[in-house]
Chain A
Amino acid sequence: MADGNHPPPLFPSSNLMQSESQNQPQFYSPSSNNNMTTTQSAQVKPPALSPNGPFSPYQPGSTDGNHITLGGPSVPPNTVNGLNTSSQQQMRPSLMASGFPPPPGSNNFNQPPMSNIPIRPGGPYPPHPNFTPLAGPQMNGPGNVASRPPFPTPPLGSQTPGFQGPTPPYGNRTPLQPGGAMRPPPPSLSGPGQAPPTMGFQAMSGDTAQSRPNELPVPFHGQGQYSHQVNPHMQKTPTPTPSNSEPPSERSSRGPSPVSGSTMDALEGQFSPGHGSASPALQGNRASPVQSLTPGTPPKMSGGYSSTMQNQQFPPRPGLPPSHPWPGSQQQQTQYQSQPRPPTSQGFPPLPSQATGFPSSQPRFPPHPASSTSSGFPPHPNPQVFPPPPSTSNTAAAFSPPQMPGMPRFQPPPPVAGFPLPPLSSGPLPPTFGASPNTTYAGSPPPLAGAPLQNVPGYSPNVTSDGTMPPQYGNMPPASQGGYPHPQFVQPSFQQPGVGYPNNVNAMTQNFGQMGIQQDAPRAVNLLTERQLIPADGLETSRPVLPHDFKKVNCSPDIFRCTLNAIPQNSALLNKARLPLGILIHPFRDLSQLPVIQSSVIVRCRACRTYINPFVVFTDQRRWKCNLCFRVNDLPDEFSFDPVSKTYGDPQRRPEVKSATIEFIAPSEYMLRPPQPAVYLFLLDVSFNAVKTGYLTQFCQILIEEIDKLPGDNRKTIGFLCYDKALYYFNLAAGLSQAQMLCVPDLEDPFLPCPDNLLVNLKESKELLIDLLNKLPSLFEGNYETGSALGAALQSAHKLMSPTGGRITVMQTCLPTVGPGALENRDASSSAGKNVTIIGPATDFYKKLSLDCSAQQIAVDLFMLNAQYADIATLACISKFSAGCVNYYPSYHSVKNLGMVDKFDTDFRRYLTRKIGFESVMRIRCTRGLSIHTFHGNFFVRSTDLLSLPNINPDAGFGMQMSIEDNLQESSTVSFQAALLYTSSKGERRIRVHTLCVPVTNQLSEVFACADQLAVASLLSKMAVDRSLNSAISDARDAMMNASLDALSAYAQQIPASQRVGALLAPHSLRLMPMFMLAMLKSVAFALAGNPKVDDRVFAMQQFKVMPLCYLIQNLYPHLYPLLKLNEEKVIKHGDEEIPSAPLLQLSSANIDRTGLFLMDTGDAMYLLVGSSVGDQICQDVFNKPNFMSIPDGIMDLPELENQTSENIRSFINYLMDSRPNGVVFLVVRDDSKNRHLFFQHMLEDRSENSMSYYEFLQFLQGKAKP
Chain B
Amino acid sequence: MAFTFAAFCYILALILTAVLIFFVIFHIIAFDELKTDYKNPIDQCNSLNPLVIPEYGIHMLFTVLFLFAAQFGTVIFNLPLMVYHIRRYLNRPVMSGLGLYDPTSIMNADELGRAQKEGWVKLGFYLISFFYYLYSMIYVLVSS
Residues 68-105 of B contacting A (Cβ, < 8 Å): 93-96, 102-104
A944 contacts chain B at the CB level, 8 A cutoff:
yes
Instruction: Please tell me if the beta carbons of A842 and B42 are within 8 angstroms of each other in the complex.
Output: no
Instruction: Please tell me if the beta carbons of B104 and A941 are within 8 angstroms of each other in the complex.
Output: yes
Instruction: Please tell me if the beta carbons of A963 and B41 are within 8 angstroms of each other in the complex.
Output: no
Instruction: Please tell me if the beta carbons of B103 and A851 are within 8 angstroms of each other in the complex.
Output: yes
Contact of A844 among B34, B37, B94 (CB under 8 A): B94
Instruction: Please tell me if the beta carbons of A942 and B96 are within 8 angstroms of each other in the complex.
Output: no
Most chain B Cβ neighbours within 10 Å, of A842, A848, A931: A848
Distance, CA A946 to CA B96, complexed state (A): 26
Distance, CA A840 to CA B93, complexed state (A): 10
> Given A851-B104, A855-B42, A941-B104, do A932 and B109 touch, yes or no (CB 8 Å)?
yes
A1237 / chain B contacts, CB cutoff of 8 Å = none
B15 contacts chain A at the CB level, 8 A cutoff:
no
Most chain B Cβ neighbours within 10 Å, of A844, A931, A946: A844
Instruction: Please tell me if the beta carbons of B96 and A940 are within 8 angstroms of each other in the complex.
Output: no
Contact of B109 among A840, A848, A963 (CB under 8 A): A963
Contact of A847 among B34, B104, B107 (CB under 8 A): B104
A845 contacts chain B at the CB level, 8 A cutoff:
yes
Distance, CA A1044 to CA B59, complexed state (A): 45
B4 contacts chain A at the CB level, 8 A cutoff:
no
Contact of B108 among A841, A851, A934, A943 (CB under 8 A): A934
A933 contacts chain B at the CB level, 8 A cutoff:
yes
Distance, CA A840 to CA B109, complexed state (A): 21
> Given A841-B94, A844-B94, A851-B104, do A941 and B41 touch, yes or no (CB 8 Å)?
yes
Instruction: Please tell me if the beta carbons of B110 and A933 are within 8 angstroms of each other in the complex.
Output: yes
A843 contacts chain B at the CB level, 8 A cutoff:
yes
Instruction: Please tell me if the beta carbons of B107 and A844 are within 8 angstroms of each other in the complex.
Output: no
Contact of B96 among A840, A844, A932 (CB under 8 A): A844
Most chain A Cβ neighbours within 10 Å, of B42, B96, B107: B107
Minimum CB distance partner of B91 in chain A: A1030
Minimum CB distance partner of A962 in chain B: B109
Instruction: Please tell me if the beta carbons of B95 and A844 are within 8 angstroms of each other in the complex.
Output: yes
B40 / chain A contacts, CB cutoff of 8 Å = 942-943
Distance, CA A1073 to CA B70, complexed state (A): 60
Instruction: Please tell me if the beta carbons of A931 and B41 are within 8 angstroms of each other in the complex.
Output: no
B104 / chain A contacts, CB cutoff of 8 Å = 847, 851, 880-881, 940-941
Distance, CA A848 to CA B96, complexed state (A): 9
A855 / chain B contacts, CB cutoff of 8 Å = 42
Instruction: Please tell me if the beta carbons of B96 and A843 are within 8 angstroms of each other in the complex.
Output: yes
Instruction: Please tell me if the beta carbons of B94 and A840 are within 8 angstroms of each other in the complex.
Output: yes
Distance, CA A931 to CA B37, complexed state (A): 13
Distance, CA A1048 to CA B34, complexed state (A): 38
Instruction: Please tell me if the beta carbons of A943 and B107 are within 8 angstroms of each other in the complex.
Output: yes
0/1 string, B98-135, CB within 8 A of A gives 1: 00001110011110000000000000000000000000
Q: How far is the CB of A575 from chain B (nearest CB, A)?
A: 16
Distance, CA A963 to CA B110, complexed state (A): 11
B37 / chain A contacts, CB cutoff of 8 Å = 943-946
Instruction: Please tell me if the beta carbons of B94 and A934 are within 8 angstroms of each other in the complex.
Output: no
B96 / chain A contacts, CB cutoff of 8 Å = 843-845, 848
Residues 823-874 of A contacting B (Cβ, < 8 Å): 840-845, 847-848, 851, 855
Minimum CB distance partner of B40 in chain A: A942
Distance, CA A946 to CA B35, complexed state (A): 12
Q: How far is the CB of B47 from chain A (nearest CB, A)?
A: 15
Minimum CB distance partner of A939 in chain B: B104
Distance, CA A880 to CA B104, complexed state (A): 10
Distance, CA A940 to CA B110, complexed state (A): 17
> Given A851-B103, A942-B40, do A843 and B94 touch, yes or no (CB 8 Å)?
yes
Query: Which residues of A are interface residues toward B (Cβ below 8 A)?
Result: 840-845, 847-848, 851, 855, 880-881, 931-935, 940-946, 963
With A847-B104, A943-B107, A963-B109 known, 19 other A-B pairs at CB within 8 A are A843-B96, A845-B96, A847-B102, A851-B42, A851-B104, A880-B104, A931-B109, A933-B109, A933-B110, A935-B107, A935-B108, A940-B103, A941-B41, A941-B107, A941-B108, A942-B41, A942-B107, A943-B37, A943-B40
19 A-B interface contacts by CB (under 8 A): A840-B94, A842-B94, A843-B96, A844-B96, A844-B102, A848-B96, A851-B104, A881-B104, A931-B109, A935-B107, A941-B41, A941-B107, A941-B108, A942-B40, A943-B34, A943-B40, A943-B107, A944-B37, A946-B37
8 cross-chain pairs, A with B, having the tightest CB-CB distances, nearest first? A941-B107, A933-B109, A943-B37, A844-B95, A934-B108, A844-B96, A844-B94, A841-B94
Query: Which residues of B are interface residues toward A (Cβ below 8 A)?
Result: 34-37, 40-42, 93-96, 102-104, 107-110
